[in-house]
Amino acid sequence: MSPGLRKVLLTTHITTSVGWLGAVVAYLALDITATASQDVQTVRAAYLAMGVIVTYVIVPLALASALIGIVNSLGTPWGLFRHYWVLVKLLLTVFAAIVLLIEASTVSYLARAAASGADPRQLPGTLLHSIGGSVVLLLVLILSVHKPRGVTRYGWRRQQEQRRQQRERRQVPVR
**pLDDT tens-place values along the chain, 175 residues long:** 888 998 999 999 999 999 999 999 999 999 999 999 999 999 999 999 999 999 999 999 999 999 999 999 888 877 888 889 899 999 999 999 999 999 999 999 999 999 998 899 999 989 999 999 999 999 999 999 998 888 888 888 888 888 888 888 888 666 6
Look up the pTM and report it.
Answer: 0.85
Helix (H) or strand (E) holding 88: helix 84-115
SS3 assignment for 28-71: HHHHHHHHHCCCHHHHHHHHHHHHHHHHHHHHHHHHHHHHHHHH
Could you tell me if 107 and 23 are in contact, meaning their C-beta atoms sit under 8 angstroms apart?
no
Cα–Cα dist 39/121, whole Å = 8
Residue 14 has a pLDDT of 95
Residue 173 has a pLDDT of 67
- Cα torsion 23, 143, 13, 132 to 10°: value is -30
Residue 149 has a pLDDT of 85
